Every structure is written in structure tokens, then in C-alpha cells.
Structure 1
Amino acid sequence: MPASDPIPVALLHGAGYAGGEVIRLLAGHLDVTLTAVTSRSLAGQPVWAAHPHLRGLTDLAFIAPDDFDPASARAILLAAEHGQAITVVTDLLNRGYDGAIIDLSADFRFRDPGLYPTWFGLEHPAPDLLDAFQYGLPEVFAPYAPGQRLIANPGCFATGITLALWPLARHLEALDVSVTALTGASGSGTRPKATTHFPTRDGNVRAYKILAHQHLPEIQQTLGTHARVHFVPVSGPWTRGIWGTAQLTLPPAVSEDDVARWYEDAYADAPFVRLWPSLPELRYAAGTPFCDLGWTLNDRHLVVGFALDNLLKGAASQAIQNLNRVLGLPEPSGLLPTPSPLPA
């Protein structure tokens, strides 16, 4: 049943692709109400000016960030670019904001501030805040500590790869795995660039940031120091969705039944992980809030497949999962259908 008084939430810097999906999901959420969406460049224009598919779903207009009153929202979702969220968060906290903050950027994902110069080219200006943020991969870290209100939403590749490997990392003393994963053009954001230009991307695949993608430290941070992940990201000729495989050699004592049990135990209570009898297909995961996993084993060689929507489970719907958790709502609220009671 919906809350009698929906909880007011706001979205800051909501003009990008992930922001549009957050708005769409919240429009159908029965327990919260989106009261404000900010954009410096689109202030005063209707939300559908940036997100035409939302026309008729919301009457909200963008407001300038300086016109937003934090006291009007019990929770804030932040979809700023990497490096910008730090300033927004520190300003909110310095002004005494004590509600929940779900940050979709990478600015608070790492525990070690020394990783930021290497992977993002910046010295973190608020390293003392890093420990205050919970890395928000619910399937691994939830339930969060009571009162936890600051969440660092994981990256899209990091979500898929970590969920694909987490059950193995829990049971194997050493994990050495090679990952190849393809992603759609929306993962590069709304700003046009040569690598997302249609004639360049259509009918083509291209590896990039080989063994040096910025999501690697997130993955290693979660899996542990006993895990080594060699990751080749690839741009695919579609708009949204990530599909990939992880390959490794299992110890002789590990059976196919062991692998199946590890995954079933890890995700028995995870409503947004679906286990498939074979490697998953991208088309069934795109447009959904699920991460699909499947595997095949042949003579100790294990291949784990994963598929997810980079804008949903890799960003917006995972942010709603985290929002629900910190607000004390059921995790699937606003993401999965709620059965209606039969009439008396």
C-alpha cells in the first residue's frame, strides 16, 4: 500500500540520460513524489524539453540549482557529472542538510582517496567524507547500517561485473578472471563525441580503456584483494544495455553443483538479479531493472555471462533501490508491479 503522504524527493542535475530514467521511474512510484528537478542550462523549461518521452508523464519544469531549497526534500538524488557531485554534496552538508543523498557519480565510490588522481585525474577535495558514504550495491552490502543516509551508487560496468563474480569471490581463495563486456552508446552520456557518432558506432565494435577502465577499482574494492580482474570494455553498436562474459579456471575440487549453489545462495533474496539456465541475452535485460546472470562450465573452464541495462540497473533503477532502502520502503517499490487487492 502507498504511504498516506508520499515522501518528497528531488533530483539535482537531471537533464542527462540517467536523470531522465530517474524521473520516469519516480513518476510511477506510489510512496514518493518528485518535487524538483534542477538544470542550470534548462532552467524554466519543462522536463520534457530534455526528455521528450516524459511529455504527459510529469508537469515539472527544470529549476536553477541556486533556486532549489534542500529543506523541501527528504531525499536527494544527484546525477551530476563525475567531479561535480563533490561540490554539490559538500555544499548541501555545509548548509545542514540531514536527509538522504543518493549520488550517481563516481565521486564517493572509493574508500581510498589516493585512487582519484590515478583514475579520475583529480585530488579528492573532501576525503573525510568518503567513509561516510555506503557503496550502494544492495545485493552485496544491504541491509545498510541503521541511519545510513549517504549512498554512492555503483557504476554500470562495475554493477554487472561485480554481481557476476561476487558468488565466486566469496568461496574461492584466489580469483583470476578475464572479462570482456560491450556497452551501448548511452553509456557515454548526452554530450556528442566522435566515438558516439552514428556512422562511427553503427555496425562496429571498438575496444577502449583496455585493462584500464575507471570501474576496475570499484570492482576490486568489493571483491577483495584475492581477486584479480582483467577487463576489456567494448563499445557496441546499440543505444543501451551491457552484455559481457567473465572467464576463469576453477580449482579441481569445484563442481558444477557447487557453482549453481553459490549463485543461488548469493541471490536468493535479490529481487533484481535473475539467474538463467544459460548465458543471458541482452534483449531480455534492456529496459528492465534486472541484472541477468548465467554460466556454463566445461572441463573446469567457467564462463559467466551478465546482461543489464546501463541506464537502469547500471544507474537509475539501482538508485531507486537505494532510495527505497534508506527511506525504509520495500526495495522493489516503484520498480516492480504492485499487485492490487481484489475487490471485496
Structure 2
Amino acid sequence: MPQPAHSFSASPTAVSHIGVLHGAGYVGGALIRLLAAHPAAALHTVTSRTFADQPVGAAHPSLRGQVDHTFTAPDEIAFGSLDALLVAAEHGRSMQVVPGILEDGFDGPIIDLSADFRFRDPAVYPEWFDTAHPAPGLLADAVYGLPEWSDEIGGASLVATPGCYATGITLTLAPLAQQDVPFTAHVTALTGASGSGATPSSATHFPDRDGNVRPYKVLGHQHRPEIRQTLGTHVSLDFVPASGPWTRGIWGTAQIEWPKATDPNTVSSWYEEAYAGAPCVRCSSDRLPSLQPAVGTPFCDLGWKTDGSTLVVGFALDNLLKGAASQAVQNLNRMLGLPETAGLLTSPVSVST
């Protein structure tokens, strides 16, 4: 059963030097953009095999004139000059490189954005990812980095940032799972084309995607065991993912089979208490969120509606931000002892009149 994490804040100290491994993809670009504006964590090194020795703008044209960095080849990175490391590699790559980085003596925080360290049970990897984990001993040490439900991130050396669907669905269902009542959730969620990564494929080809909704991995998506690992075995989950005709953002609903009648005020109290100290979750009672207000932000928007017998909870988030890069920065901030929202939210400004 998940327990809500305590809110976390601290005073910024000296600027930390951050490395981003495999920074040429969509998530890498989002990480670079966030670090460029971070008040206490600066991008020091970013790697890419394809774009080695080329400026960051070669892979991310929108960053031209904003980020003055050149990609470094992965085998040329100087880990001794880094205070922390963000790994944005594809699934299956991090589990190959992170053990070697640790063996070479790097002792700073590592935040991985793939699935390679999310599961405690190494048997999950051959079943869901068609590969045996080469370093199963690290799985016990890795902390699952969902900030709203983990108090262990700040003291961790290796944090596994959750998947995008897993983030939205877990945040949606965790306040219900916390009630220790068995229930079933039927979830349908749609994601934009950027969720498929930067490499083109037939699934992301514009003529096939434009104006179309395409379900995939129905009842068999790899985020399903990730979600149940966090929520507990008393939660049954039926998950239907689909691709929508937009670029960024995930929108979904969970229809809940709750075992007894539920008062709307009770449901609201569950969510409001769970996320009272969560700066990157926005809750709305008696209505479901829409997608557009969440895109381009570090927030997951949650909303719910019940008539007493049927409970529907909706969620919306940016898959590249709260579903990946901004959540990784939340984790980075905690691991460095910085305010959790540093570089993500604008601090309020007091104006004298």
C-alpha cells in the first residue's frame, strides 16, 4: 500500500554540475531545457553517439541560441567533473552502462529514466522486456522515483524515474489504494506521438496518425506491472493504452469498481489529503481534467466525479515533463538537497504597494 511522501524543501547551495547521458532524444531535449533554467543545477556534459562533437542545437533546433553546449561521445565523458547524472537512454541500455559507471567509482546521484531499474523483481525483465537483467543486485538498492509517494528519494544513490503512463495512473489510483479496500480499475489512456520516441516508425507516420486513434498493447502494456508494484496486489487493473493525434500529453480516465457506495465529499477528502503537500499535482473535485492545460507544465492534473455508485477519476500530464524529464528533475532536486520544484516552478514574487 503506498504512503504519501512528506513535502520537501531546502535552501539552494552551490551550483551542481549535471551530466545527461543520451541527450539527443525528446526526453533529453526536455532535460537540457530544464537544466538551462535551473538556479542550482547546471548542465555540464551531454552525450550522444549520433551527434558527438556537434552543438546541442543540431539535435534540438529550438535550443539554438539558448544552450551553448556540444555533445560529447559517451566514451569520452569525464565523470569526475560531475555531481550527478541523468540517464535518458532507451530501455535496456542503462542496465548495461550504469553498473560500469558505479564500478569506475562515480559516487554521485544517478537518476535513470528508462525501465531498467524500476522493478525490484529481476524476473520481470525477461517476462516483459525480453532480456535478463545483468545487475540484479542493483534493483534492491534502486528507489522508485515517484516523488508524491516516496520518502526515500533524498537519501538514494540510484533512482528509477517512473514511466509516463505509470506516473499518471499511479497518481490517479494511489489515494484509493491507500484505503486498503480491494477494487478494480478500468483505465483507458491516450498519448501523443512523442511518447513513441524520436526515431520514426510506421506507428508515428503522420498520414496514419493524423485524425486517428490507435489502441496498442491492450491489457499487455509494460507499465501495468510497474503500477501494480506500487499500488499493491489488492488493486486489479485493466489498462487500454492508445495513440492519439497530437504530439505531447497523456489524457486518461479510470472507471472504478468500488465495493460500496461512496460519498463525493469522502472521495474529495482522500485526494486532497494525499496531495496536500504535492506541488506538482493539481486536483479538482467534481470534474475531470482536460489535456491542454497540463501540456508544457510539470503538473499532473487529477479530477474525479461520482454519483455515489460509480466513481470516475481522470488524469492529464505532459509525457515528456511530469511523465519523464520534470519528474526526473524533482528527483534530482531531492537527491541534491534542493527545493523539490527548483527549476520547475516560478517562485512567488512579493510586490509592495
Matched, 1:321 2:330: yes
1:202 aligns to what? 210
Cα-to-partner distance string for 1:21-77 (whole Å, 9 max, x where unaligned): 000001000111110000011101000110011111110010001110111111000
Unaligned runs of 5+ in 1: none
Q: Partners in 2 of 1:2 and 1:134 — Cα distance?
A: 23
2:340 aligns to what? 331
Kindly indicate whether the alpha-carbon contact (under 8 Å) linking 2:264 and 2:308 is maintained by their aligned counterparts in 1: no
Matched, 1:270 2:278: yes
Kindly indicate whether the alpha-carbon contact (under 8 Å) linking 2:145 and 2:153 is maintained by their aligned counterparts in 1: no
Matched, 1:248 2:260: no
DSSP 3-state at the match of 1:128: helix
Q: Partners in 1 of 2:180 and 2:266 — Cα distance?
A: 11
Deviates more, 1:231-240 or 1:290-299: 290-299
Matched, 1:32 2:41: yes
Assess, with a 3 A threshold, how the Cα gap between structure 1 residues 331 and 145 changes in structure 2: closer, same or farther.
Answer: closer
Kindly indicate whether the alpha-carbon contact (under 8 Å) linking 1:287 and 1:309 is maintained by their aligned counterparts in 2: yes
Residues matched between the structures, number: 342
Deviates more, 1:334-343 or 1:94-103: 334-343
Q: Partners in 1 of 2:319 and 2:154 — Cα distance?
A: 29
Correspondence 1:7-22 to 2 at 5 A: 7-22=16-31
Cα-to-partner distance string for 1:102-144 (whole Å, 9 max, x where unaligned): 0000000001100111110001111110011100001011x22
Q: CA deviation at 1:342?
A: 6.2
TM-score (norm 1): 0.97
Matched, 1:170 2:170: no
Kindly indicate whether the alpha-carbon contact (under 8 Å) linking 1:220 and 1:227 is maintained by their aligned counterparts in 2: yes
Q: CA deviation at 1:254?
A: 2.9
DSSP 3-state at the match of 2:195: helix
Kindly indicate whether the alpha-carbon contact (under 8 Å) linking 2:21 and 2:85 is maintained by their aligned counterparts in 1: yes
Q: Partners in 2 of 1:115 and 1:2 — Cα distance?
A: 39
Q: Partners in 2 of 1:325 and 1:67 — Cα distance?
A: 28
- Counterpart amino acid of 1:240? R
Q: Partners in 2 of 1:334 and 1:274 — Cα distance?
A: 18
Q: Partners in 2 of 1:342 and 1:97 — Cα distance?
A: 44
Kindly indicate whether the alpha-carbon contact (under 8 Å) linking 2:153 and 2:334 is maintained by their aligned counterparts in 1: no
Correspondence 1:88-127 to 2 at 5 A: 88-127=97-136
4+ long deviations beyond 2 Å: 1-5, 249-254, 338-343
Q: Partners in 1 of 2:87 and 2:182 — Cα distance?
A: 36
DSSP 3-state at the match of 2:237: strand
Q: CA deviation at 1:148?
A: 1.2
Deviates more, 1:194-203 or 1:169-178: 169-178
Q: Partners in 2 of 1:223 and 1:55 — Cα distance?
A: 42
CA RMSD of aligned residues (A): 1.4
- Counterpart amino acid of 2:176? L
Unaligned runs of 5+ in 2: 1-9
Kindly indicate whether the alpha-carbon contact (under 8 Å) linking 1:45 and 1:62 is maintained by their aligned counterparts in 2: yes
